[in-house]
A and B are shown apart, each in its own frame.
Chain A
Amino acid sequence: MLFPTFAFGLFFVVVFIVNWITRAQPLVWRWCMLAASFYFYAYWNWRFVFLLGGAIVVNWFAGDMAAAAIRRDEFTLARWWVRAAVIADLGVLGVFKYYNFFAVEATNLLNDIGVDASPRLLEVVLPVGISFFTFQAMSYVIDIGRRQIEPMPPLDFAVYLSFFPQLVAGPIVRASEMAPQLADRPDPRYVQSAEAFRLIFAGLFKKVVISSYLASEIVDDVFADPAGHSGFEVLVGVYAYAIQIYADFSGYTDIAIGVALLLGFRFPQNFDAPYRALSIQDFWRRWHITLSSWLRDYLYIPLGGNRKGRLFTYRNLMITMILGGLWHGNTWNFVIWGAIHGGFLAIERGVREYATARGVSFELPAALRNVLQWLVTFHVVCLAWVFFRAESFSTALDLLGRLGDFTGGSGVVTPLLLLTILASIASQFVPADWVRSAEDRFVRVGWAIQGVALGIGLVIVDVLGPDGVAPFIYFQF
């Protein structure tokens, strides 16, 4: 069930009513939310409901066993329960997401050296959201093993892992963030409607209008046929993709957070104006924050973080970002995307450490330095996006190769397109206080005006958007 559809609107009205009517009865409320989330997931493909159910049962059981072992001071046993859950989760991810990739690569490699290999390749559809709920499940069991959280009651864990607003494309909500909210009943007198409506409208606008427009006007064309476009068009196409994927993914997140707010839950922020970042480090504190913090807590730090010397730190950064790339998909391009980010994180760190050690300082006015840092950061991010979006390594190289040739072109760059890209980048620099102040005024207008504004906003999105809405890009991850 896609968010920007009438079916979801109808579904959510029913869920909203049931949520607030039953919220005072914990057991009834939990079963109702669980049913709603499973219905939402079954709407994609009912078969995968069993996968979600299996993930709930296996991870809850492993978490409970680990906690029981800890209570008996059997820490080794607890660690094995955690490992078993992580292996099971990664195993499921591996089968659905990576088996064919590795099987094809291994087969081709063996064929190249004269060994005839014919593995059985799987004709499977990737269950939507599997990367997200699997990571949530792993963090739950690992946190229990680290004695950072208590095990949740089974029904609470089922509601948490399947909770439909964040089920298919995040944000990746930790059990430690959700458990207190499941225990503390929100006050039905104070529903954050102004913020929720603003987020839902912004999310719909970004997804349906901005992302769809940029994809159809230039991005799809440029990435399908780089040779048919001039260097300038390719450059604009890459900028447009940077905006498209931000609008698409952050749009989904906005809607998810808004929907959750209407049900009385506050999800963690997932984006914080990433294209105003002045370094790659800064970028990752603003882009897909829940994934980057997950990778930090469950991969980078366990690898040793920055505690084992400079070279180990660089190694850990590369491993973390490359695996972060592979999390997105099973192609070499995602590996390269991660390697670019990991490489530049290491370079930034190296330069900073060198400058600090040698007492080197760059004597530039702050404003000029910020502009230069922003330009470099934005273009490194765009360079990485080329590999993220291109269908193959050779296509990415073709595209980058076109950048030096400013002849020819197909006329896809229009003033409206440039304006859309520039306005989208400029919007990253709008102070958060302005948004909050506007929200405060919106709260005071009352429910009727809020409703009218929501209605008009929905129509504006429908008028400006295309017929039909493509699935969110991040559903494929």
Chain B
Amino acid sequence: MADERQPPGLAPASAGHPGPPRPARDMTVPRPIRTRRVRLPEPVSEMEGSRGLPAGQVLLGGLLGLLLAILLNAEELLRDAEEKPFGRSRDISVAVWEPVESLASTLHLTQPRRWADEALGRDISGEIFDLRTATGTEDEPGVSPDGVQRIEVSDGLLIADEDGEPTIDPAEGPATPTTTEPALPPGVPTPEDPLELWIVGDSMVQFFGDTLAGLANGTGVIDATAESKLSSGLSRPDFFDWPARLSGLIADENPGALVIMYGGNDAQGLVTPDGVAQPFSDLWVREYSLRVGAVMDLVTEGSDRHVIWVGQPIMRSDDFDNKMQQLNRIYEAEAATRSQVTYVDTRALFQNANGAYDRFLPDESGELVDVRLTDGVHLSTAGGRWLSELLLDALGEVVDLETGRGGS
């Protein structure tokens, strides 16, 4: 008969000890407590000795394996190092991996990885989409004749201070809201001819993109798809080339509308024609604004496509939140000059009654809802639903989503 104390469904006591037997103590029998901790010499145990190798040989084998993996993967390791944010850590990583990659290439050890990547259809060319040429962007947005960066936004002027840190010029005071007049509807979508909507961006999109797509598809007149790429943005096309991806997306899918959200990973150095720009320096703000504007142009040019550009929500960290506010002002300023782009401010949605960050916020019925993840940045599922509803409303302002599905 089975052990009376053995419950159904729970592991038998012996289940955790596979493999050959080893000296074991019967821990189920009460035993007297040893008087005190006396350190005894440690006996040597031949752990299943016949199946082992000496530690020195294992170390050699492990090092050989790691060395081989490093050499075969040298190009990828160098690429990873180059994609790090500009700074000392990146410099050191690149300095380490460059000679390794050089050696591996000389020995032709990088070739198998290239073949594998090509077989899997991966782009290993390292070429970056030429955003300036594609959009004919030559001007320097928001730069006044005196060379000082001045971008007009709804609640003040964004300038860069001596250290390159962005600040608001209080003397200028709040500017006039710059919400752009919506463009004419691109056509009334119907169930037979739905609006093709793409939701793209960084990891923020990962947490609400599918929810928004589901809500949008639920209207019956939208065919929505979400696509996100972790750690991506507009600062580092060498890590992920969003302009190239968007260009391909426009050519292949010709969407009727886009929801775009970047920024969470963009407060880092970026490469400009004049060299590497440190975050929020004059050069940085000029270059980043240019990229934002050029992406807006890229996806709207020659079409009546509409873009919903999503601003960053309030963040838990004051420092990070300050950076995101600066980015929001750039997005708002660039959207303000383009009739097909609507900037959506998301800060108010995720602020508490005091205008501060809060992970738990009351919903319409007053029930507390956990709207943020514990990282203080990303949205929870509930938060993603809130944002999705806001964005769908914003889309409904510029695209007639009612008539085609029988609404008035």
Judged by a CB distance under 8 angstroms, whether B367 is at the interface is: yes
Task: Give the residues in chain A near B218, CB-CB below 8 Å.
Answer: 227
Q: Is the CB of A190 within 8 A of B8?
A: no
> Nearest A residue to B67 by beta-carbon distance?
A455
Tell me whether B47 and A306 are in contact (CB under 8 A): no
Q: Convert A277-305 into 0s and 1s, putting 1 for each residue whose CB lies closer than 8 angstroms to a CB of B.
A: 00011011100011011011000110001
A20-B55, A125-B374, A150-B31 are known contacts. Are A225 and B214 too (CB-CB below 8 A)?
Answer: yes
Given contacts A13-B62, A459-B112, 15 further A-B contacts (CB under 8 A): A13-B63, A16-B55, A16-B58, A148-B28, A152-B37, A187-B52, A189-B55, A192-B48, A224-B211, A285-B11, A285-B12, A292-B9, A306-B8, A448-B61, A459-B72
Residues of B1-26 at the interface with A, using a CB-CB cut-off of 8 Å, are 4-5, 7-13, 15-19, 22-25
Tell me if B69 and A459 are in contact (CB < 8 A).
yes
* A305, B27: Cβ atoms closer than 8 Å: no
State the CA gap A245–B285 with chains docked (Å): 43
B23–A296 CB distance below 8 A: no
Chain A, range 156-193, C-beta contacts under 8 Å to B: 171, 174, 176-177, 180-181, 183-193
> For the complex, is B231 an interface residue (Cβ under 8 Å from A)?
yes
B9/A185 in contact, CB under 8 A: no
Flag whether B334 is at the interface (Cβ < 8 A).
no
B37 contact set on A, CB distance < 8 A? 151-154
**Which chain A residues lie closer than 8 Å to B32 at the CB level?**
147
> Given known contacts A123-B316, A147-B33, A191-B53, is B17 in contact with A306 (CB within 8 Å)?
no
Q: Is there a chain B Cβ closer than 8 Å to A149's Cβ?
A: yes
Contact A293 B217 (CB under 8 A): no
Quick check: which of B113-121, B163-171, B246-254, B297-305 contacts chain A, the rest being far away?
Answer: B113-121
Using Cβ atoms and an 8 Å threshold, which residues of chain A touch B25? 176, 180
Decide: B55 and A191 in contact? CB cutoff 8 A. yes
Residue of B nearest to A188 (CB): B55
The list of the 3 closest CB pairs from A to B, nearest first, reads: A268-B16, A455-B68, A224-B210
Determine, out of A83-91, A104-112, A364-372, the stretch whose residues face the partner at the interface.
A104-112
CB neighbours of B45 from chain A (8 A)? 181, 184-187
Q: What sequence of 0s and 1s flags, for each residue 60-90 of chain B, a beta carbon within 8 Å of any chain A beta carbon?
A: 1111111111001100110000000000000
A9 at the interface (CB under 8 A from B): yes
Taking the complex as formed, is A358 at the interface, i.e. its CB lies under 8 A from any CB of chain B? no
CB < 8 Å neighbour of A266 from B22, B76, B316: B22
Q: A392-B381, A452-B68 are in contact. Are A447 and B60 (CB under 8 A)?
A: yes
Given contacts A185-B43, A269-B15, A285-B10, contact A458 B65 (CB under 8 A): yes
CB of B73 within 8 A of CB of A462, answer yes
Asked if A284 meets B4 with Cβ closer than 8 Å, knowing A107-B368, A108-B368, A191-B52, the reply is no
Q: Is the CB of B62 within 8 A of A451?
A: yes
Q: Which among A48-56, A130-138, A235-243, A341-349 touches the partner chain?
A: A341-349
Cα distance, A177 to B67, chains bound together (Å): 35
Would A184 and B62 be within 8 Å (CB), given that A126-B374, A149-B27, A459-B113 are in contact?
A: no
The reply to whether B61 and A148 contact each other, CB–CB distance below 8 Å, is no
What residues on B are CB-neighbors of A321 within 8 Å?
A: 9
Tell me if B8 and A455 are in contact (CB < 8 A): no
Residues of B within 8 A of A457 (CB): 65
Report yes or no: B60 in contact with A264, Cβ–Cβ below 8 A: no
Mask of A44-83 contacts with B, CB within 8 angstroms, 1/0: 0000000000000000000000010011000000000000
Given contacts A189-B49, A295-B10, contact A151 B4 (CB under 8 A): no
Residue B92 CB within 8 A of the other chain: no
Chain A residue contacts of B27, Cβ below 8 A: 143, 148-149, 174, 176
Interface size on A, residues (CB 8 A): 112
Chain B residue at smallest Cβ distance from A341: B9
A-B contact pairs, 30 of them (CB 8 A): A108-B368, A123-B359, A125-B374, A147-B31, A176-B27, A180-B24, A185-B44, A186-B45, A187-B47, A190-B50, A190-B52, A190-B54, A191-B55, A193-B53, A195-B51, A227-B218, A266-B19, A280-B9, A293-B11, A306-B8, A307-B4, A349-B8, A391-B381, A395-B381, A448-B61, A451-B65, A452-B65, A454-B66, A455-B69, A458-B65
A6 to B113, CA, bound (A): 17
Which residues of the other chain, A, contact B7 by a CB distance below 8 angstroms? 296, 300-301, 305-306, 313, 316-317, 320
The reply to whether A190 and B64 form a contact with Cβ atoms under 8 Å apart is no
Decide if A386 is an interface residue (CB 8 Å cutoff): no
Contact A184/B23 with A67-B33, A111-B366, A268-B16 known, Cβ cut-off 8 Å: yes
Q: Give the residues from 318 to 344 in chain A that come closer than 8 angstroms, CB to CB, to chain B.
A: 320-321, 341
Residues of B within 8 A of A190 (CB): 46-54
Nearest residue, chain B, Cβ from A122: B359
A272 at the interface (CB under 8 A from B): yes
For residue B38, which residue of chain A has the nearest CB? A153
In the assembled complex, how far is the CB of residue B29 from the closest CB belonging to chain A, in whole angstroms?
Answer: 8
Q: Report whether over half of chain A's contact residues are helix, strand or loop; otherwise say mixed.
A: helix
* Chain A min CB distance to B210 (Å): 3
Cβ–Cβ < 8 Å partners of B30 in chain A: 146-148
Chain B positions within 8 Å of A187 at CB level: 44-47, 49, 52
Q: Does B123 contact A (CB under 8 A)?
A: no
Residues facing A in B92-136 (CB within 8 A) are 112-113, 116-117, 120
Count of B residues near A, CB < 8 Å? 88
Q: Which residue of A lies closest to B83 (CB)?
A: A467
Q: Which residues of B contact A146 (CB under 8 A)?
A: 30
User: Which residue, A174, A195, A313, A450, has most C-beta atoms of chain B within 10 A?
Assistant: A450
A71 touches B33 (CB 8 A): yes
Given contacts A6-B77, A306-B4, contact A458 B69 (CB under 8 A): yes
B368 proximity list for chain A (CB < 8 A):
104, 107-108, 121
Say whether B44 contacts A186, CB under 8 Å. yes
A149 to chain B, nearest CB (A): 6
Q: Which residue of B lies closest to A270 (CB)?
A: B16
- Most chain A CB neighbours (cut-off 10 Å) among B13, B66, B116: B66
A396 CB within 8 Å of chain B? no
Residues of A within 8 A of B17 (CB): 268-269
Question: Which residues of the partner chain A approach B65 to less than 8 Å between Cβ atoms?
Answer: 197, 450-455, 457-458
Chain B residue numbers with a CB within 8 Å of A262 are 58, 62
Q: CB distance A188 to B8 under 8 Å?
A: no
Which of chain A's residues 356-385 have a Cβ closer than 8 Å to chain B? none
In angstroms, Cα B367 to Cα A195, docked, is: 53
Q: Are B211 and A345 in contact (CB under 8 A)?
A: no
Q: Mark A92-112, 1 if CB is under 8 A from B, else 0.
A: 000000001000100110010
Q: Are A290 and B72 in contact (CB under 8 A)?
A: no
Given known A289-B11, A300-B10, A463-B113, contact A451–B33 (CB-CB < 8 A): no
The answer to whether B230 has its CB under 8 Å from any CB of chain A is yes
A397 within 8 A of B: no
| B213 interface hit (Cβ, 8 Å) | yes
Kindly state whether residue A405 has any CB partner on chain B within 8 Å.
no
> Chain A nearest CB: distance from B214 CB in Å?
3
